[in-house]
């Protein structure tokens, strides 16, 4: 079994880390560079930074923050928010990011993923998908979950894989911030349909949820925010628990 990854997610707004419930009601969770350094030391496998208002406000993710994070951490990190061109990705990678996450821009112009993977390699390209179950169907949403589309989650993820995405970051909007567990049924379907890794996001509330997302959801990595930011779960303790449940992790 491949080693499963634990990934703290830092949602960035106005230079601060924030966390909400179902994508709204945001509260401050600290300085992103300080948090990144803390997570790197506490056993996180990777980090994800999402500038959650970058697309909405039509501005670019701050390259300066990326550079500061790169100076402080020794684990891979992904940056997303407002990325819509080869030039955007070039700036972020040159400033120290290992991967980029593309969401709304891929829906607006799917061939962007072909261009990015051809230029930088698929290992650098994560496609983030925010989806919500509406009348039994998982539909993709854009702009921080504010704009619904008629795209089916599973069909869209498959297209992104075919266009060169190296992994899929799937956030269940129904589960996000609720701490009731991940969307394991949808994750298992995704995992069986795709060859590339699936990062699960949305719903982590306790250690059992992480065990479930790997055993039932078949995810390759689990991403969470508030349980880590507010010290409800320590990564070291979580990894030891996962090991006890027969899940291979890096200690």
3-state secondary structure of 44: coil
Instruction: Give Cβ neighbours of residue 18 (< 8 Å, ≥ 6 apart).
Output: 11, 12, 26, 27, 28, 29, 52
- Taking CA atoms, 23 is separated from 9, 99, 150, 177, in Å, by 13, 23, 19, 8
Rounded Cα gap, residues 10 and 66, in angstroms:
12
- Taking CA atoms, 249 is separated from 5, 45, 85, 210, 238, in Å, by 7, 9, 35, 12, 10
Q: Which helix (H) or strand (E) holds 242?
A: helix 235-244
| Structure-token pair, residue 36 | 């990144």
Rounded Cα gap, residues 142 and 2, in angstroms:
31
| Structure-token pair, residue 191 | 């995992």
Closest CA to 157 of 117, 188, 193: 193
Rounded Cα gap, residues 128 and 100, in angstroms:
10
Marked catalytic residue, from 11, 51, 212, 220: 11
Marked catalytic residue, from 88, 130, 176, 212: 130
| Structure-token pair, residue 193 | 């349909």
* Catalytic residue check, 130: yes
Just list the catalytic residues.
11, 130
């Amino acid at each position: 079994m491949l080693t499963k990854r634990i990934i703290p997610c830092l949602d960035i707004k106005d230079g601060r880390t924030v966390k909400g419930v179902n994508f709204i009601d945001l509260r401050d969770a600290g300085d992103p560079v300080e948090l990144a350094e803390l997570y790197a030391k506490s056993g996180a496998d990777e980090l994800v930074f999402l500038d959650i208002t970058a697309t909405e406000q039509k501005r670019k993710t701050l390259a300066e923050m990326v550079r500061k994070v790169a100076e402080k951490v020794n684990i891979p990190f992904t940056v997303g928010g407002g990325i819509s061109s080869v030039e955007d990705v070039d700036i972020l990678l040159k400033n120290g990011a290992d991967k980029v996450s593309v969401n709304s821009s891929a829906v607006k112009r799917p061939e962007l993923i072909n261009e990015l993977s051809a230029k930088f390699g698929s290992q650098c390209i994560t496609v983030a998908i925010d989806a919500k179950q509406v009348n039994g169907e998982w539909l993709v949403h854009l702009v921080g979950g504010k704009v619904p589309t008629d795209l089916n989650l599973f069909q869209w993820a498959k297209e992104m894989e075919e266009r060169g995405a190296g992994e899929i970051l799937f956030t269940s909007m129904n589960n996000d911030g609720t701490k009731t567990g991940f969307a394991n049924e949808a994750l298992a379907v995704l995992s069986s349909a795709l060859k590339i890794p699936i990062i699960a996001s949305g719903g982590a509330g306790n250690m059992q949820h992480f065990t479930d997302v790997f055993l039932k959801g078949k995810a390759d990595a689990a991403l969470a925010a508030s349980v880590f930011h507010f010290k409800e779960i320590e990564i070291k303790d979580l990894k030891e628990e996962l090991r006890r449940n027969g899940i291979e992790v890096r200690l």
